[in-house]
Amino acid sequence: MDKPRYWFRAKRYGWGWGLPLTWEGWVVLVVWLGAFLSVVPSLRGPQHRVEHVLFVIGMIMVLLLVCYWKGEPGRWRWGD
């Protein structure tokens, strides 16, 4: 059986993912960052507080789901 090809490397310390390992991971990160930065300026001001918070939470959830799906398995790490 082939070894899975992960897009995101696990962090060395703690839980989570670090920088992408593959070009697919870099594409996801760049597209995510572009979408995030293109929408955030339009959500400024007191009339957009709820929308801003919901958008940020939603975008973070999308990135975490992609990392969970295509990244190395998550577990607590204490280094090498």
Per domain, the residue ranges of the chain are 20-71
- What are the pLDDT digits (tens) for 2-17? 777 899 998 888 899 9
Burial of 79 (0-12, 13-18, 19+ CB in 10 A): exposed
- What are the pLDDT digits (tens) for 29-66? 999 999 999 988 888 777 878 888 899 999 999 999 99
